[in-house]
Structure 1
C-alpha cells in the first residue's frame, strides 16, 4: 500500500499527518507564510512517493441549496457544472450533493446542495508545492462535508440537529436537516474548550440558533438538539453554561467513543476532532471532494499505473498457476508412463513363462499361423467342392473300370463356375487296345457332360492321336505295358 499523507489546512497553518494501520500520526506543522510553505516543500520532497489528501477548515466557504430538473448522463454533469460556475463564480473548488427527488411539485425535480471554497488563494500556495513534485492528490475535502458523512455514525440523530466540533481552525457548528448537511459555520480562535473560552463557545451556539431561525431553516417553535463532540474533561467546563430550554436541548457525545466506533486505533487527546475526520477521509472512498480534474491528474496517472501493475500481477499469477498445472500434469503423465512400462514388463515376463510351459509344436509357429489363416479364409468362403465331387462320383459309377488317381479343384471368388481336373487310371489289360481306351474315354466324357451346360473336355488321352501316326493296336504283351491314364477337366455352371 502507498503511504497516505493527510493534510489539514486552516487559516493559520497546514498540519500534516501520516495514516498508518488505522492511526493518524502527526508529522509537522507549517505556518501560512513563505517560510512555512518552503518547509512544507522540503518535507514533501523528503517524503518521496505517496498519496496526499487535503482537508480544508476555513471560514471562506459557501453553501447554496437549489432544485434542478432530474436528468442523467452528460446533460446532468453539464448542468451541475454550469450551476456551480454561476453560484460560486471565481473558484474552481466546488461540488454538488444530491439530496434526493423533490416530490412536492408536479415536475420531477432533484434537490442539490452546492458547496464551495470561496477563497482559492488560501489553498493555492500549498497546491503549487504538490504540483511542483507531481504529487498525486486524491482530493480536497471540506470539514462540513466530512461531518455530513460522519453524522450517520452518531447514536440516532434527530430530524434536525446542530453538531459542534473543535479543531485547530476553530469551533465549527454544522446544522443537519433531514439527516443531511444544510449549513455550517466556523468560529475562529475557539479551537478548544477551556475555562476562558467556555462562555464564548456557549454564546456562539446561541448566535447560530438565532441565525437558523432568522433564515427560516428552523421553526420558531420547537426544540433543537445540540450535540457537542468533545471529551468529558472539556465538556465539564462548558456544561454549566448550557441551560436547556424549550428551544434547545444539549447532548454530550464522547469523541473517543465515536473514534472507536469508526475504527480509529490511536487515542484522541482533548476535544480535537482533526484525527477523527482525517481517519474518516482515509477510510471512506465515496466522499464528495472539491478539487477540479486538473488538480487530480497525477492521482489518475497513479491509479492507471496501479491498474496496469495489478493486471500484470494477475497475469503473472495466472501464468504461474497454469505452469504449475502443467508441471503437475507432466508429473502425473510420467508416473502413468512408468506404471505402464512396469505393467508391460510384467506381462511380457508372464507371457514368456506361459510360452515356456507349453508343449513343443509339431511345426514352426509361423507355419501354423499361416495354415490357420488359410483355413479361416477357406471356411469363410461361399464355394464348396461337394457339388463338383458329387458329379464326378456319378460319372465314375457309370465307368467302374476307371480308377481315380488324383484331383485338382479350384473355385474363384464371386459367382464363377466350380472347376477341376481329375486324373484317372484305366485297366492295364486295356493298354494293348487303343480303340477301347478311346471309346472308354469318350463314354466317360459324355457322362461328365450331362446334363447340358457342363463344360467337360479331355486334357490328356490314354493314347497318342497325332495325325502323322497310324492308329493301330499294340502287339506287346499286356503285362509289359504301363497302365494307361486319362485326364479330364470339367466345370459346373453357377447354381449346380
Structure 2
C-alpha cells in the first residue's frame, strides 16, 4: 500500500492542503489565510494520522543571505556555521543553511546560503502535529525548489507573477542566491513595476559582486500567454536581455492533468517534494525526528526482509545440493552392488586352509631362495669405499626364516654373512691395521647390522689400545674373517 502524504501550500492569501497516495493526487482542500481557519486546517490534517506532512511556503517574510566562509570540514565546519547563524538576527525563526559552491578570490573560500522565514502560524501547526504524533517531512520554499525543476537555466534572474504577487529569484550555476516576493496593489502597472524591480535587482547584484557592471543580466519571465506581450513591449536597458517561457512549456509531462486550484509553478514544486528529499529544510530537528525514526524502521524492516529472502534462497540451494548428493550416493551404491554381483565368488572350505597355508609358505621360500644379498652389497659399498689394503676373497650368504614363539615360521627372515679378507702385500702392516679397525668401526655403527663377530683376528686383537701407550702396535694376520648378522625384515609381497 502506498504511503499517504499531505502537502500544505502556504501563500499570502490562502492555504491549500493536497493529499497524495504515493505520487497519485487524491484530493485537495483550500482555506483562506485567516486566524479562524487555522484550527479547521489542523483538524482536517489530523484526520489522516498515518500520513506524512510537508509544507511548501511562498510568503513575503522569507530572507536569504549569502555568507562566504573559510573552507573547513567536519566538526569545525558545523561549529563555524552555528556561530555564524547565532550572529544572524533572522536565525531566531525557522531557518536553514546549505552549501552553494567554492569561490576563488584572493583566497579560496566556501559560499553558503542562509535562509529564514517568519510565520508564527506554521510554528503553531508544528506543535499541534507533534502533540498528535504525526510525522513531518519538512518545510520548503518555492524559491529553493525552483532550481530543481527549471530546465537548463543556470545563470539568470527569474520573474513570475501570480495575481498581484511578483517573485524574483536570481540563479547562479543552478543555485539560488537571491529571492524576494512583492505584493503589488491592484491598480499598479505590472510591467512597469517589474521593470523597476529588475533594474534595482541588477544594482543589488553588482553591489554583492555577483554580477560585473560589464556583464548582461539574463532575465527569464515565467508567465501565461496574456502577460508576455506587455513585458515584451517594455523598453529594457542594453544590459538586460529578456526572455520568456510559457507555463505550458514548464510542465515535464504536458499530458499530465493539473488540479484546477493549483498553478503550474506550485504543481512543479510539489512534484519536487514528492520525488526527492535532498532539499534545504526549514523544519527543526526535533520536529523531523519522528519521521526519521519511522524511515529508519522502514529501512530496517526492508533490510530484514531482504536478509530473510537471501537466507531462504541459501537454504533452498543447500537443500537442492543435498538432494543431488543423495542421488549421487544412491547411484554409486547401485553401481557397487552391480559390480559385486558381477564378480565371481571364490569359496574356500575350512578343510582346505592348511593346504593353502603350506602353499603360501612354499611360495615364500621359493621367493627367498632366489633373493640376492642386495642389502648386504649396499652395506659393503657404503663401508668399504676407500679400503685399499684389504681385498674381499670370499662371501658366504645364508638365509633362514625366523621362527616365532610357537616354533613356526613367521613372515620375517634373518640373514647371516661370512666375509673373508686378505691383506695386500704392498701395504705396510700399520696402514692395514688402521684400515681394518676403521672397517670394524663403520660396520658396528651401521643401523642394519645386529651382530658382528671377528673370528680370525691376531692373538693381540683383544688387547685394548691405550692413549699414550709406547708399546709397538699389535700385529694383524694376513687374513681376517667376519661374521655379520643383519636385522630381521618382513617378506616382500
Q: Where on the TM-score scale, by shorter chain, does this alignment land: which range? A: 0.5 to 0.7
Counterpart of 2:190 in structure 1 is 201
Aligned counterparts of 1:324 and 1:76: Cα–Cα separation in 2: 51
CA deviations on 1:145-190 (whole Å, 9 max, x unpaired) are 1124334x23x55x4x221234589331212245432221112379
With structure 2 as the length reference, what TM-score do the two structures score?
0.66
1:101-140 equivalences under 5 Å are: 101-105=102-106, 107-117=107-117, 119-140=118-139
Decide whether aligned partners of structure 1 residues 129 and 201 sit closer, same or farther in structure 2, where only a CA change above 3 A counts. farther
Aligned to 2:146: 147
Contact kept in structure 2, 1:213 and 1:219, CA below 8 Å: no
What is the SS of the residue equivalent to 2:201? helix
| Alpha-carbon spacing, 1:93–1:165, altered in 2? closer, same or farther (3 Å) | same
Structure 2 counterpart SS, 1:131: helix
- What is aligned with 1:378? 364
Change (3 A) 1:333 1:411: closer
Q: How does 1:249-328 map to 2 (within 5 A)?
A: 249-260=241-252, 265-267=256-258, 271-328=263-320
User: Deviation of residue 364 (structure 1)?
Assistant: 6.8
Structure 1 residues 388-429: Cα deviation after superposition (integer angstroms, max 9, x where no partner): xx99xxxxxxxxxxxxxxxx99578353789xxxxxxxxxxx
Counterpart for residue 422 of structure 1:
none
Residue number in structure 2 paired with 1:164: 159
Cα separation, 1, equivalents of 2:14 and 2:359:
108
1:337 aligns with 2:326: no
Greater relative contact order, per chain length (Cα 8 Å cut-off, separation 6+): 1
Q: Cα gap change, 1:204/1:345 in structure 2, threshold over 3 Å: closer, same or farther?
A: farther
Determine which structure has the larger strand proportion and give its number. 2
Quote the Cα distance in structure 2 between the aligned partners of 1:12 and 1:376: 123
**Counterpart for residue 426 of structure 2:** none
Cα-Cα RMSD: 4.2
**Distance in 1 between the 2:202 and 2:333 partners?**
96
CA contact 1:168–1:272 (8 Å) conserved in 2? no
**Does the CA-based 8 Å contact 2:142-2:266 persist in structure 1?**
no
1:26 is displaced (CA, Å) by 4.5
Q: Per the alignment, do residues 362 and 45 of structure 1 end up closer, same or farther by CA in structure 2, a change over 3 Å counting?
A: closer
Deviation at 1:74, TM superposition (A): 0.9
SS at match of 2:46: helix
Q: List alignment gaps of at least 5 residues for structure 2.
A: 373-396, 399-406, 418-454, 456-482, 487-493
Structure-1-length-normalised TM-score: 0.65
Counterpart position of 1:186 = 181
What per-residue deviation string (whole Å, max 9, x for no partner) do you get for residues 80-102 of structure 1?
12212221346242122323233
Structure-2 change in CA distance of 1:411 and 1:64 (3 Å): closer
The 3 A distance-change label for structure 1 pair 143 and 412 is: closer
Per-residue deviation, 1:285: 2.8
Distance verdict in 2 for CA 1:373–1:186, change over 3 Å: farther
Residue 220 of structure 2 aligns with which residue?
A: 227
Summarize the Cα distance change of 1:267–1:409 in structure 2 as closer, same or farther, 3 Å threshold.
closer
CA distance 1:2–1:298, change in 2 (3 Å): same
CA shift at 1:274, angstroms? 0.4
Counterpart secondary structure, 2:133: coil
Which secondary structure does the structure 2 equivalent of 1:70 belong to? coil
Q: Secondary structure at the match of 1:303?
A: helix
Deviation at 1:138, TM superposition (A): 2.0
- Structure 2 equivalent of residue 210 of structure 1: 199
Matches within 5 A, 1:352-431: 354-355=344-345, 367=353, 371=357, 374-375=360-361, 378=364, 382=368, 413-415=412-414
Q: Cα deviations across residues 464-484 of structure 1 (Å, max 9, x unaligned)?
A: xxxxxxxxxxxxxxxxxxxxx
Query: Taking structure 1 as reference, are residues 245 and 366 closer, same or farther at Cα in structure 2, changes over 3 Å only?
Result: farther
Aligned to 2:37: 36
* C-alpha distance in 2 between matches for 1:45 and 1:268: 23
Instruction: For residue 325 of structure 1, give the secondary structure of its aligned residue in structure 2.
Output: helix
In 2, the alpha carbon distance for the partners of 1:365 and 1:304 equals 86
Aligned residue pairs total 386
Counterparts in 2 of 1:324 and 1:318: CA distance versus 1, 3 Å:
same
* Secondary structure class of the residue paired with 1:415: strand
The separation in 2 between residues aligned to 1:314 and 1:63, in whole angstroms, is 44
Deviates most, 263-272 or 37-46: 263-272
1:4 touches 1:50 (CA, 8 Å); kept in 2?
yes
Partner of 1:123: helix, strand, or coil?
Answer: helix
